[in-house]
Amino acid sequence: LNMFTRNSDRVFLPKFELALIFSVPTCTKLKLQQRSPPSLISLAGGAPNPNTFPFLSASIEVRNGETVTFSEAAMKRALQYSASNGIPELLTWMKSLQKKLHNPPTANYSPENGQMEMCVTTGSQEGLCKVFEMLVNPGDNVLLDAPTYSGTLAALQPLGCNLINVPSDQHGIIPAALKEVLSRWDPLEVHRPGSTAPKILYTIPNGGNPTGASMTAQRKKEVYELAQQYDMLIIEDDPYYFLQFNKPWAPTFLSMDTDGRIIRTDSFSKILSSGLRIGFVTGPKLLVDRVVLHIQASTMHTSTFTQLMVSQLLHSWGQEGFLQHIDRVIEFYRTQRDAMISSADKWLKDVAEWHTPTAGMFLWIKIKGIADTQQLIMERALEKEVLLVPGGVFMINSSDPCPYVRAAFSLSTPEQIDEAFRRLSALIKEAL
Question: Residue 224 or residue 362: which is nearer to ligand PLP going by CB?
Answer: 362
Among 46, 160, 369, 401, binds ligand PMP (CB under 6 A): 46
CB of 138 to ligand PLP, least distance (A): 24
User: Would you give the binding string for ligand PLP spanning residues 196-215, x where CB under 6 A is met?
Assistant: --------x----x------
Question: Residue 75 or residue 233: which is nearer to ligand PMP going by CB?
Answer: 75
The answer to whether 419 touches 383, Cβ cutoff 8 Å, is: no
**DSSP structural state of residue 417:** H
Cis peptide before 357 (omega within 30 of 0): no
Of 61-69, 123-131, 226-234, 348-356, which segment contacts ligand PLP by CB under 6 A?
Answer: 123-131
* Continuous segment of H or E residues that includes residue 262: strand 262-267
- 274 binds, options ligand PMP, ligand PLP, none, Cβ within 5 to 8 A by partner type: ligand PLP
Work out whether 409 is an interface residue with ligand PLP (CB under 6 A).
Answer: no
Of 12-20, 118-126, 178-186, 421-429, which segment contacts ligand PLP by CB under 6 A?
Answer: 118-126
What secondary structure does DSSP assign to 74-90, as a single string? HHHHHTS---TT--HHH
- Give the list of residues 6+ apart from residue 59 with CB closer than 8 angstroms, or none: 67, 68, 69, 70
Neighbours of 328 (CB within 10 A): 11
What amino acid is encoded at 257 in this protein? D
Question: Residue 114 or residue 205: which is nearer to ligand PLP going by CB?
Answer: 205
Cα 269 from Cα 271, distance rounded (Å): 6
* Continuous segment of H or E residues that includes residue 209: none
Residues touching ligand PLP, count (CB under 6 A):
13
Cα 195 from Cα 137, distance rounded (Å): 13
Work out whether 237 is an interface residue with ligand PLP (CB under 6 A).
Answer: yes
Work out whether 20 is an interface residue with ligand PMP (CB under 6 A).
Answer: no
Longest distance between any two alpha carbons in the chain, whole Å: 81
Task: Write out the binding residues for ligand PLP, residues 345-364 only, by CB under 6 A.
Answer: none
Q: For residue 84, which of 298, 230, 265, 261 has the smallest C-alpha distance? A: 298
CB of 398 to ligand PLP, least distance (A): 17
CB of 212 to ligand PLP, least distance (A): 11
Nearest residue to ligand PLP, using CB? 123
- 149 binds, options ligand PMP, ligand PLP, none, Cβ within 5 to 8 A by partner type: ligand PLP
Question: Residue 121 or residue 203: which is nearer to ligand PMP going by CB?
Answer: 121
Question: Residue 46 or residue 369: which is nearer to ligand PMP going by CB?
Answer: 46
Distances in whole angstroms, Cα of residue 83 to Cα of each of 26, 177, 258: 7, 43, 29
CB of 300 to ligand PMP, least distance (A): 6
Q: How many helices (H) and strands (E) does the chain have?
A: 13, 15
The answer to whether 354 touches 364, Cβ cutoff 8 Å, is: yes
CB of 30 to ligand PMP, least distance (A): 22
Neighbours of 5 (CB within 10 A): 15
Task: Write out the binding residues for ligand PLP, residues 147-186 only, by CB under 6 A.
Answer: 149, 151
Of 47-55, 117-125, 222-230, 402-410, which segment contacts ligand PLP by CB under 6 A?
Answer: 117-125
Neighbours of 132 (CB within 10 A): 19
Among 74, 107, 159, 300, binds ligand PMP (CB under 6 A): 300
Of 121-129, 225-233, 327-335, 374-382, which segment contacts ligand PLP by CB under 6 A?
Answer: 121-129
Cα 21 from Cα 53, distance rounded (Å): 20
* CA 353 and chain centroid, separation: 28
The answer to whether 185 touches 197, Cβ cutoff 8 Å, is: yes
Question: Residue 46 or residue 88: which is nearer to ligand PMP going by CB?
Answer: 46
Task: Write out the binding residues for ligand PLP, residues 252-311 only, by CB under 6 A.
Answer: 267, 269, 274, 279
- State whether residue 370 is helix, strand or coil: coil
CB of 18 to ligand PMP, least distance (A): 8
Query: How would you classify the pairing of strands 233-237 and 262-267?
Result: parallel
Q: Which phi and psi (to 5°) does residue 379 adopt?
A: -105, -35
Work out whether 124 is an interface residue with ligand PLP (CB under 6 A).
Answer: yes
- 269 binds, options ligand PMP, ligand PLP, none, Cβ within 5 to 8 A by partner type: ligand PLP
CB of 301 to ligand PMP, least distance (A): 9
Q: How many residues does the chain have?
A: 432
**Binding footprint of ligand PLP on the chain (CB under 6 A):** 123-125, 149, 151, 204, 209, 237, 239, 267, 269, 274, 279
**Binding footprint of ligand PMP on the chain (CB under 6 A):** 46, 300
